[in-house]
Structure formats: structure tokens, C-alpha cells
Structure 1
Amino acid sequence: MFVNLLRNNKLIAGILTFIRVYIGYQWLVGGWGKITGGFDAGGFIQGAIGKATGDHPAVQGWWAGFLEAVALPGADIFTFVVMWGEFLVGIALILGVFTNFAALMGIIMNFAFLFSGTVSTNAQMILLTLFLLVAGYNARRFGLDRYVIPFLKAKVLHKNEQVYVKPAEIH
């Protein structure tokens, strides 16, 4: 019943729009701050690896192993992906374009930050993003997806149409 309300109610769609724009703004500001502020993921990754030690580690060993083996050697790539990922997720959520994909990418980044021992607003953003993901279309009802998705579907359907030609018509 609650899921049905989230997915179909127009009043809820308006509330979801405010949530979507709020989360988008948080991502946009965070990403822009990293882009203009000289963000380097290497320091963040090393800090997270350091939180995996002691009696009550904030970072689990398996995640620290991933950070040490994959993320730290590729810190330049992670720097780029985090900066621009946050910024683009923010734009997409604010405009309501590719909303479900943007929300999914945002929630994945939030979980990565939580796994790395950073609490901040990540848990709140995960909770709010879950509403967007469960609501599906209703979360993007008042956004550009209302126009973009049907346009893309029409393009894909048109591209995939096959014209049947009778063998007698082939010369």
C-alpha cells in the first residue's frame, strides 16, 4: 500500500520532487566544491585505510583491502569519478533527467563513503534516495524525464523496427 502511494500519488510526486532537488543540490554543491577545490581522493582513501585498525575499526577489513589494492593505486581515476560523478548526479537529480540512474549512482557513492568510515549526511541521503528509487516514475513525474524518456523510447523503437520485404520484391 505504501509503495503504491509512492508510485502513483501526484501529491507524493510533488513531495518527491522537493526531495529529489534537495538531494541533487547536495550532490551538486559537493561535486563543485571538489572540482574547484583541488580534491584528491588519495588522501581520503589513505585515511579510510587507516580507520581499519584498532579495537573498533570504522572501516571493515574487506573494504580496506579493496581500497588498498584497487582504489589507492587508481586514486587519480577515483578523484575524477568522485568529483564529476557527484556534480553530474546533482545536475541530473535537480533537472529530473535519468532520475533513477542518477539516484542509483548517488546511493552507491553514499554507501562507498559510509564503508570508508565517513558518516556526515550519507545515511540521510541514502534514506531519502531510497524513496526516489522505490517511487520510480513518480519521482521523476515533474522533471525532464517526462519528455526525455518517451523521446528515447520512440528513437529506440524506430531504430529497431524492421521492414519486411517480400522475397519477390528483392531484385
Structure 2
Amino acid sequence: MLMNFIRKHYVAAGILVFIRLYIGYEWLTAGYGKLTGGQFDATGFLQGAIASAGGDHPAVQGWWPLFLEKVALPNADLFTVLVMWGELLVGIALILGIFTNFAALMGITMNFAFLFSGTVSTNAQMVLLTIFLLIAGYNAGRYGLDRWIIPFLKRKTTKRKHTMKLA
């Protein structure tokens, strides 16, 4: 019953707008600050996360430091760009309610990456709220641009499938 409410009810869609706007604002301001500040470089963050993997009570555990050391750190310039633009674009998409589920999925992926790296901040709270957006599916973007974009894309793909069958 609760799942049905979250996924289909108009009242739930209205509540989800506030969640979407809050999370979108958090992502937008984080990304904008990194882009316009001119000083963001993921190298220091990555090195700090790797350093946090040692000691008696490591903040970073398991396979994650290996990934950071072997993949992320050698490509720190790429990860710098991905983080800055990823945060900004996820924020814009959630605020506008366009491709809401994809934006929420990318946002929660970044949140988990930051949590795996030993930072807590607002990441855990954002993960929890983003889960509601992901569970809600289309209803999370009902009062946003998804209201028009998703049906348009469905019509286009349905027409294309129909055309391909006729040929």
C-alpha cells in the first residue's frame, strides 16, 4: 500500500517535489562552487581517502582504496571534471524534474562514492532521501519536465518499434 502511494499518488508526487528540490539544490550548489571556485582538484580528496584506509580503525575499507589508487588517482583530472559537472548536472536535472530517475541514480552513485571514501557530511542523508525518488519512479518527476518528456519519448519509441515491425 505504501509503495503504491509513493509510486502513483499525486500527493506523494507533491511531497517528492520538495525532496527533489532540496537534493537538487545541494548538488547544484556543490557543483557550481567547484566549477566557479577555480581551485577544485580531486587529487587531494583521493589521496586523503587512500590514506584513511590504514590504521586500527580505517575510515575507508576493503576494495575501495585499490580502486582509488589504481584507477581514480592516475585519472584524477578526469575525475575532477566528472565530479564538478556531475554534481552540477544532477542538481539541474533534479530541480527541473527532467530524467529524474537517471539523475537520482547518478546522484546516489556519487553519494556512495563519497561515503566509501570516508566522508559523511550530508551524503548519508542524501542517500536516504534519494532512495524515495528512486522508489517513486516516474512519480518523482510528475511535477517537473518529466511530465511531458517521458510520454513524448514513449510515443517516439512506440512509433519506432511499430514502424520497424511493418518494414
Fold-level similarity (TM above 0.5)? yes
Which AA in structure 1 matches 2:110?
M
Q: Which residue of 1 is the match for residue 133 of structure 2?
A: 132
Alpha-carbon deviations, 1:92-134, whole Å to 9, x = none? 0000000000000000000000000000000000000000000
For the aligned residue pairs, the C-alpha RMSD in angstroms reads 1.2
Q: Distance in 1 between matches of 2:129 and 2:112?
A: 13
Q: Does 1:4 align with 2:12?
A: no
Q: Distance in 2 between matches of 1:115 and 1:39?
A: 20
Alpha-carbon deviations, 1:121-152, whole Å to 9, x = none? 00000000000000111111101001011112
Structure 1 pair 159/113, CA: closer, same or farther in 2 (3 Å)? same
Q: Distance in 1 between matches of 2:64 and 2:114?
A: 11
Q: Distance in 1 between matches of 2:84 and 2:166?
A: 48
Q: Does 1:152 align with 2:157?
A: no
Deviates more, 1:151-160 or 1:56-65: 151-160
Return 5+ residue gaps in structure 1 as ranges. Answer: 166-171
Q: Secondary structure at the residue paired with 1:61?
A: coil
Q: Distance in 2 between matches of 1:163 and 1:36?
A: 50
Deviates more, 1:69-78 or 1:152-161: 152-161
Which AA in structure 1 matches 2:105?
L
1:56-135 aligned within 5 A: 56-135=57-136
Question: Residue 10 of structure 1: CA displacement?
Answer: 1.1
Q: Which residue of 1 is the match for residue 24 of structure 2?
A: 24
Q: Secondary structure at the residue paired with 2:120?
A: coil
Q: Distance in 2 between matches of 1:35 and 1:118?
A: 20
Q: Distance in 1 between matches of 2:4 and 2:84?
A: 35
Q: Which residue of 2 is the match for residue 46 of structure 1?
A: 47
Q: Secondary structure at the residue paired with 2:63?
A: helix
Q: Distance in 1 between matches of 2:97 and 2:56?
A: 44
User: 1 or 2, which has the higher helix percentage?
Assistant: 2
Q: Does 1:162 align with 2:143?
A: no
Runs (4 or more) in structure 1 with deviation over 4 Å come to: none
Q: Distance in 1 between matches of 2:5 and 2:134?
A: 13
Question: Residue 3 of structure 1: CA displacement?
Answer: 1.0
Q: Which residue of 2 is the match for residue 169 of structure 1?
A: none
Structure 1 pair 62/158, CA: closer, same or farther in 2 (3 Å)? same
Question: Residue 163 of structure 1: CA displacement?
Answer: 6.8
Question: Percent of pairs identical after alignment?
Answer: 70
Structure 1 pair 163/68, CA: closer, same or farther in 2 (3 Å)? closer
Q: Secondary structure at the residue paired with 1:143?
A: coil
TM-score (norm 1): 0.93
